[in-house]
Amino acid sequence: MSTWVLLTITGLGLGAMYFLIASGLSLIYGLMGVLNFAHGAFLTVGAYASWWAQGKLDGIGSIPLRFLLAALVGLAVGALIAVLTELVLIRPLYQRHIEQVLVTVGLGLALTALVAGIWTQTQQVYLTPTWLTETTSVFGAQIPNDRFVEIGAAVAVLLGLLAFFRYTRYGLIVRAGVENRAMVMALGIDVRKAFTLVFAMGGVAAALAGILSGVYFGGIDPARGTHLLIYAFIVVVIGGLGSILGSAAAAVIVGLMQQYANYYASSGIGDIAVILLLAVVLLVRPGGLSGREVAH
Amino acid sequence: MSASEKTLLRVEDLDVFLGGSHVLQGMSFDVPEGSVTALLGRNGVGKTTTIRAIMGLSARRGRVVFAESDIARERTDRIVRRGVGYVPEDREVFGSLTVDENFRLAERNGSARYDLVYSLFPELRERGGQRAGTLSGGQQQMLAIGRALLNENRLLLIDEPTKGLAPLLVTEVAKALEKAAEITTVLFVEQNLGVVRRLADQVVVLDQGRVVHAGSAKAFLDDPEAVRRYLGVSKAEAA
């Protein structure tokens, strides 16, 4: 029982990180039709910005406060780099999907190489509050506390996004834009502002995932974003492009499946199981769990 | 058009290429302010493309002058904010949003004319919380027209408002458009010549991407030979 509880909560923690990355990817594709291969680099840059800020804030004695302030720096940098990407690289290439893919692939590679060039490929130890590295007993299982933070952060982002969609005008614009972007413009709405906003939100969520991955894995490395991006894309496809709730459900499924398969079958089987799940979903339900068709 | 009539929309030498086809070939026509102009022609002659090109939804060359400003290079949202309402051919309501949310999205300022819209389509008030995708075709058309009437526009572009509707609904939609035409200039595409006769002051007839006839709607519809030649329908059908 305790092993199952540990696997389940760890799987949910992993799924939480997948969701944080996938939510931005899904929204960006759903609204703009952009497959953003640089999204993993937003994660890496956000995580490194936070780690860098931790070093600069060494005058602050309180580790939790230092961690939180550095995390805020990471989130701000994640938003900034996402906004700049949208304004400088994506906006001039609207409707030119091949070029957009090429430019985001190039940007992702360049940013990752830049980070590695500055701080080397070596994993950097991420300073975390003591409580996060301790464990809490749940039904006999000793659960690392950071898992609860990761799950809580993902739930908070999910609820925040749902509230944004339901209660704000921009949320309404994004929901409508995912369905029919041209018609949103034909109602007199400058949909480009929604594009920039969605990119910024995606950048913040990716940076948050990067920071939490530093806690989860005990450090950060330049390839972290690229590695997690692969799973995030799988989550987005399984959940249904453009569907936040679909991404949330798929992230939980993928995270749990990896943990269970790696433990109960054999280490490494988790990744194969996820790929098989992706293949089954594509064959049986091409629109993903949400079944939503995105019009572009 | 008499000399006293002011032109609200002027289309000059409009060209549109779609997928390698030269769909609109130097099209020119005027829409006088306060008029109801019907864009007519057989299937595939470029009526919908003309509306979409005016809206900036299709890449175009040439001049589109609205209220004395050339809007041919403007983005769609800016054209709309100049006072152009648009009802697309297939309604294109947002199916995952409720009726109320569709209206809220269309609001351009604080003076949305809900009283006007609900007086024309009272059914939509009762269905405010219903997802637009679950409405009937007729109700979706009412929503699409209502959405365009919500704001004070100087020009309404309406693409086949009665397409696929039952006869009773055609009458209801035609009545709503009559009401709309009392306060706004209208350019509309329509296949139902009964509706054209009821609403239009003038017609612009297209063939193979060009204007082949423009003038009084009554004179055109009363000329069975012109109707047969340009639209391929008999006098009985035209009536």
Q: What is the pLDDT of residues B23-51, one digit of tens each?
A: 999 999 999 999 999 999 999 999 999 99
Chain A: closest CA distance from residue B157 (Å)? 11
Higher pLDDT among residues A46 and A268, named by residue: A46
| A179 interface with B at CB cutoff 8 Å | yes
Is 80 exceeded by the pLDDT of residue A296? no
| A1 interface with B at CB cutoff 8 Å | no
Average pLDDT over residues B102-126: 92
Average pLDDT over residues A48-57: 96
Chain B: closest CA distance from residue A217 (Å)? 40
**Averaged confidence pLDDT in chain B:** 92
AA identity, residue A9: I
Rounded to an integer, what distance in angstroms lies between the CA atom of residue B11 and that of residue B56?
A: 13
B95–A187 C-beta distance less than 8 A: no
**Averaged confidence pLDDT in chain A:** 92
Average pLDDT over residues B134-138: 93
Chain B: closest CA distance from residue A74 (Å)? 34
What pLDDT does residue A178 have? 82
B81–A175 C-beta distance less than 8 A: no
Q: Are the C-beta atoms of residues A112 and A225 closer than 8 Å to each other?
A: yes
Helices A2-32 and A145-167 sit at what angle, rounded to 10 degrees? 30
**% of residues, chain B, pLDDT over 70:** 96
A182–B96 C-beta distance less than 8 A: no
CB contacts of A179 in chain B (<8 Å) are 94-97
Phi-psi region of A31 (alpha: psi -120 to 50; beta: other; left: phi over 0): alpha
Going by pLDDT thresholds of 50, 70 and 90, the confidence category of residue B233 is confident
What pLDDT does residue A255 have? 96
Going by pLDDT thresholds of 50, 70 and 90, the confidence category of residue B19 is confident
| A176 interface with B at CB cutoff 8 Å | yes
| Neighbouring-strand partners of residue A143 | A136
Is 70 exceeded by the pLDDT of residue A193? yes
ipTM of the complex in this document: 0.91
Which residues of B have a CB under 8 Å from any CB of A?
Answer: 55, 57, 75-78, 80-81, 86, 88, 92, 94-97, 101, 104-106, 108, 147, 151
Is 60 exceeded by the pLDDT of residue B4? no
- How do B7-18 and B61-66 pair as beta strands? antiparallel
* Of the partner residues A169, A180, A188, the one whose CB lies closest to the CB of residue B80: A188
Rounded to an integer, what distance in angstroms lies between the CA atom of residue B239 and that of residue B194?
A: 6
**% of residues, chain A, pLDDT over 90:** 81
Chain A: closest CA distance from residue B106 (Å)? 6
- Give the model confidence (pLDDT) of B168-193 as tens digits: 889 989 999 999 999 999 999 999 99
- Give the model confidence (pLDDT) of A148-176 as tens digits: 999 999 999 999 999 999 999 999 999 89
Kindly report the length of chain B. 239
- Give the model confidence (pLDDT) of A13-44 as tens digits: 999 999 999 999 998 888 788 889 999 999 99
Structural domain boundaries of chain A? 17-222
HEC string of chain B equals: CCCCCCEEEEEEEEEEEECCEEEEEEEEEEEECCCEEEEECCCCCCHHHHHHHHHCCCCCEEEEEECCEECCCCCHHHHHHCCEEEECCCCCCCCCCEHHHHHHHHCCCCCCCHHHHHHHCHHHHHCCCCEHHHCCHHHHHHHHHHHHHCCCCCEEEEECCCCCCCHHHHHHHHHHHHHHHHHCEEEEECCCHHHHHHHCCEEEEEECCEEEEEEEHHHHHCCHHHHHHHHCCCHHHHC
What pLDDT does residue B140 have? 95
- How do B84-87 and B155-159 pair as beta strands? parallel
| Neighbouring-strand partners of residue B215 | B203
A200-220 in b/e form (b: 16+ CB < 10 A) is bbbbbbbbbbbbbbbbbeebb
Higher pLDDT among residues B104 and A289, named by residue: B104
Chain B: closest CA distance from residue A15 (Å)? 27
Average pLDDT over residues B64-89: 96
**% of residues, chain A, pLDDT over 70:** 98
Helices A169-179 and A2-32 sit at what angle, rounded to 10 degrees? 80
Q: Are the C-beta atoms of residues A228 and A18 closer than 8 Å to each other?
A: yes
What pLDDT does residue A288 have? 87
Going by pLDDT thresholds of 50, 70 and 90, the confidence category of residue A284 is very high
Lowest mean pLDDT among A102-106, B146-150, B168-172: B168-172
Coil/strand/helix, residue A143 = strand
What pLDDT does residue B3 have? 45
Task: Kindly tell me the sign of the dihedral angle through the C-alpha atoms of A91, A95, A97, A102.
Answer: negative
Q: Which residue has the tokens 């109700």?
A: B139
What pLDDT does residue A95 have? 75
| Residue in chain A nearest B81 by alpha carbon | A188
Q: Are the C-beta atoms of residues A173 and A184 closer than 8 Å to each other?
A: yes
What pLDDT does residue A81 have? 97
What pLDDT does residue A29 have? 87
DSSP H helices, chain A, are 2-32, 39-56, 63-84, 97-119, 130-133, 145-167, 169-179, 181-185, 191-217, 224-239, 244-260, 269-284
- Give the model confidence (pLDDT) of A117-149 as tens digits: 999 999 999 889 999 999 999 999 999 999 999
**% of residues, chain B, pLDDT over 90:** 85
